[in-house]
Structure 1
Amino acid sequence: MSSDLQVFRLPDLGEGLTEAELVNWLVAVGDQVKVDQPIAEVETAKSMVEVPSPYAGTVAELHGEAGQTLDVGKPLISIARVGTGSGSPDAPADAADAVSTGVLASPEVSAAAETYRTEEKAGSGNVLIGYGTPGGATGGRTRPRKASVAVVEPAAVPEASFEPAVAGTRIPGKLSAVISPLVRKMARDHGVSLDSIEGSGASGLIMRRDVEAAISAPEAPAATAPAPAVAAAASAAEGSVDGRTGLAVSARTPVRGVRKAVAANMTKSRSEIPEATVWVDVDATALLDMRAELKKRAPHDTPGLLAFIARFVTAGLKKYPALNTRFETAADGSQEIVGFDGINLGFAAQTDRGLVVPSVRNAHELSARELDAEIRRLTAVARDGKATPTELGSGTFTLNNYGVFGVDGSAAIINYPEVAMLGVGRIIDKPWVVNGELAVRKVTELTLAFDHRVCDGETAAGFLRYVADAIENPGGALADM
């Protein structure tokens, strides 16, 4: 390897994480990069982060493709020092140079390379596929061939730049049918064969819009038999028969990223925590009336219902601190209940990446209005995949508003290593006795799951009743907080 080539390895991402999924390259081979310039987006079990480059120079090689899981410490990118060109005399600086290695480049090819480069950088939507693009593995579904695919001879293309499995007619002087690994990932995730797509870009370059059109096109029987590799993949996903049920397997979805972390956390919670559950129906009419009155006075600055309930929860945890602890077992078998001087209130947030639990740090110090602002901010960054490991892993108690999904109650699994979780169901009209008379009231159900090792039912019931009473008499409760 040339001494002028600087190899940057995937850094330690903190929180004990040992791997990350490469979601998106922000640079391409031949690009000039500066120190601290973001070069890739990676997704860990905690969040999605941008990885900055510690070197300046020319990108010589990308070690991995979108969708690939990389171990911490493994090569991520190779960068040639400024003024030395690429790290290898045989490696072209960009896609246009790749074409000129062994074949004569044309202005059309150079234009296509520049089109690709511009779209990758600017995120035009034609090539760049960022985080959050929906779709999953649906098996090796193939579509009818539309036209031959133009690709470069393998000798003219650096390994890290193109997919060697793309097959089709090779036309000298043309770019590869697909330059972007992100477009390839989109096609792979939706089971679309790139052989069947006629690229609309310069020199037959397959763009994101071409793959999207293929995904939305009605399916038809394939005109030709799939290649052996494609057939094998299809057999593994769709053609195989499950031995236990006798049914054909429709798809196999790898468990990784956030889903993998959630699965491990829930399994550990269920296996280690002897949890119990208590619940109560609550008349939330007064809380809704109070918020409606506040909204009349300040239409754009009124906290949401969850923020008020969060305020009641933090007050309740001060009164019943056993539910704001952690149960620890040391290597020698000794056990401790660890208490905290403060409350980091987690709340469940549904995102495209799965369920995550960002936490409001020092929530006990915040008003309902401040809690509302922080809940909204954390929800936004979590859904964008930008929440930090600290924001996602520092909670001491979780509030779960599953009422937004239209359900009344849930036997929730505690967010390990916490010891309790409060769930809030939907608020609906129900018959309720008020001052001895039947009336229609706004009623919700509160459900508390707690670790029976840290407290008995009396403590759990006391906390639950405190929050319920605050919801039913919010004015009086807020006056005392």
Structure 2
Amino acid sequence: MTIFNLPDLGEGLTEATLLSWLVAEGETVHVDQPIAEVETAKSSIEVPSPYAGTVHTLHGSTGDTLEVGNPLITVTTEDDADSPADSSTDGRAGALSYREEERAGTAAPESQDTDEETEGSGNVLIGYGTSQASSARRRRKRSGAPRADTQRPTDAAAQGSAAQRSTTSPGPAQAPRVSSPLVRRMARRQGVELHSISGSGPEGLIMRRDVLAAGEQPAAAGAGAPQREPARDAAQQDAAAAAGAVDSRTGLAVRERVAVTGMRKAIAAKMSQSRREIPEATVWQDVDVTALLDMRAQLKDSGQEAPSVLALLSRFVVAGLQRYPELAARIEHTDAGDQIVHFAGINLGFAAQTETGLVVPVVREAQRLSARGLNTEIRRLAESARDGQISSKEMSGGTFTVNNYGVFGSDGATPIINHPEAAILGIGRIIDRPWAVGGELAVRKVTTLTLAFDHRVCDGGAAGGFLNFVATCMGDPTAALADL
């Protein structure tokens, strides 16, 4: 038997939360078939199998936290069937090392495969996987129907399940074509079986609209059969068990307990580290942005692309950081003592709210982009984050962060610095306020800019100078953009 360990998921991630199994024990899997959906501190991803064979053991239950390098799934392959002595070990002895996993998807085939068989799926994680058509890489031979002696279910129930599948499906089980983890999550919540849906996307890809349509359809003709409830993960079961218990401190009944895992755990750790390690200070300034909104309206009326307020703010922030680079630096601890590290460029992060929590996508080399270029990149990264398809690289390496909490109706806030950066700038909602213009009172569009900065890196002079520069640009964008 071959044990496949949870692979290196990149960016130093050491664990992941198991959201769901996409295969069952006794089921036949092929190379690159998604076998599990896991959530890391960065995003939700599907883990593909580097082996073809029969699933023998699933190591873990939904809701469990799995560590990188520990067993994920045990598969009985054709090679195992040819060498029964090797498969009689306790399983742990067959666990593959990181390098062995790396070679798993590139074993030499015994015979020449067809173009369809040899073409990779592109499901690549750190350390293993296959890529699209590369003549220099070789693939493990795919078998057709599994050999009888390779299916070794662990109990009678597994044998019955395998027998039932063999009568209904002539070939190996194929995973439904789904690219977004959010679609799978939506299907689980609505109790929709993805195998029963015909995708309307390219090449039968299952989209959100397909899941929604399936969820709205009335029960099929044998509706007299009991309805299958969506699977409840371990965290939900623990929460249900806690219901009815009385908290000794407050005397109130406990309604629910929610485990801090995955992305929420990463956010909690990052924010706690920031508060614990960074001596931050905060400055803020009210800004009349009436002229900024008028400029955007004129661009729209002329049929031109109008960058968002966040994109324009980002462009002014980049210009300000080029004048006050210490705010895009960071503190590093070395054997020779603490050092302030300055960078030749700006990687600008921005806060984006998703269904799974707050993430910070990063626009790399932001100083090279115009306001329109920033607008395009911000939109792309935000959509990828909300769809759960953003990569770990696109959410790391930032040197400064902007946060538009005004979209949630907040006038102002004291943002927490995204460790290990040195500063973060937030913008509140834009509202009508009385404002003195030319010595007379007028109603203007006003917002509040708030800057939190690491006092070890710079002092109030630099922080105040940077904030005033950005505020001036927001107040008179035409003149500012002429100089940028």
CA distance in 1, matches of 2:327, 2:148: 58
Correspondent of 2:429 among 423, 426, 431 = 426
Deviation at 1:439, TM superposition (A): 1.1
Deviation at 1:179, TM superposition (A): 11
1:371 aligns with 2:433: no
Match of 2:38 in 1: 42
Post-superposition Cα deviations, 1:255-294, rounded to whole Å, max 9, x if no partner, equal 0111111111111111111111000000101110111111
1:121 aligns with 2:173: no
SS at match of 2:446: strand
TM-score (norm 1): 0.72
Deviation at 1:382, TM superposition (A): 1.1
Deviation at 1:405, TM superposition (A): 0.5
Correspondent of 2:350 among 347, 350, 353 = 347
Match of 1:251 in 2: 256
Change (3 A) 1:275 1:113: farther
Correspondent of 1:73 among 69, 73, 80 = 69
SS at match of 1:130: helix
Change (3 A) 1:359 1:200: farther
Gaps in structure 1 of 5+ consecutive residues: 136-177, 181-197, 215-228
1:6 aligns with 2:60: no
SS at match of 1:471: helix
Change (3 A) 1:205 1:10: farther
Assess if the C-alpha contact under 8 Å between 1:96 and 1:113 holds in 2. Answer: no
1:358 aligns with 2:361: yes
CA distance in 2, matches of 1:368, 1:132: 35
Whichever residue aligns with residue 39 of structure 1, its letter is I
CA distance in 1, matches of 2:148, 2:306: 57
Match of 2:143 in 1: none
Deviation at 1:359, TM superposition (A): 0.8
Deviation at 1:111, TM superposition (A): 9.9
Deviation at 1:199, TM superposition (A): 12
Match of 1:64 in 2: 60
TM-score (norm 2): 0.72
Post-superposition Cα deviations, 1:420-457, rounded to whole Å, max 9, x if no partner, equal 00000000111111111111111000000001111110
CA distance in 2, matches of 1:274, 1:133: 45
Assess if the C-alpha contact under 8 Å between 2:243 and 2:253 holds in 1. Answer: yes
Match of 1:131 in 2: 185
Q: How many residues align?
A: 388
Match of 2:332 in 1: 328
CA distance in 1, matches of 2:425, 2:388: 25
Assess if the C-alpha contact under 8 Å between 1:403 and 1:427 holds in 2. Answer: yes
SS at match of 2:185: coil
Whichever residue aligns with residue 305 of structure 1, its letter is V
Post-superposition Cα deviations, 1:324-362, rounded to whole Å, max 9, x if no partner, equal 011122356x10011111111111111111111111111
CA distance in 1, matches of 2:339, 2:376: 35
1:280 aligns with 2:342: no
Change (3 A) 1:265 1:409: same
SS at match of 2:457: coil
CA distance in 2, matches of 1:286, 1:319: 24
1:291 aligns with 2:286: no
1:469 aligns with 2:472: yes
Correspondent of 1:381 among 367, 374, 384 = 384
Match of 1:311 in 2: 315
Change (3 A) 1:133 1:351: farther
SS at match of 1:281: strand
Change (3 A) 1:19 1:424: same
Match of 1:161 in 2: none
1:22 aligns with 2:18: yes
CA distance in 2, matches of 1:405, 1:199: 42
CA RMSD of aligned residues (A): 3.7
Change (3 A) 1:342 1:201: farther
SS at match of 1:458: helix
Assess if the C-alpha contact under 8 Å between 1:38 and 1:53 holds in 2. Answer: yes
CA distance in 1, matches of 2:177, 2:225: 21
Whichever residue aligns with residue 309 of structure 1, its letter is L
Match of 1:91 in 2: 153
Whichever residue aligns with residue 337 of structure 1, its letter is I
Change (3 A) 1:446 1:134: farther
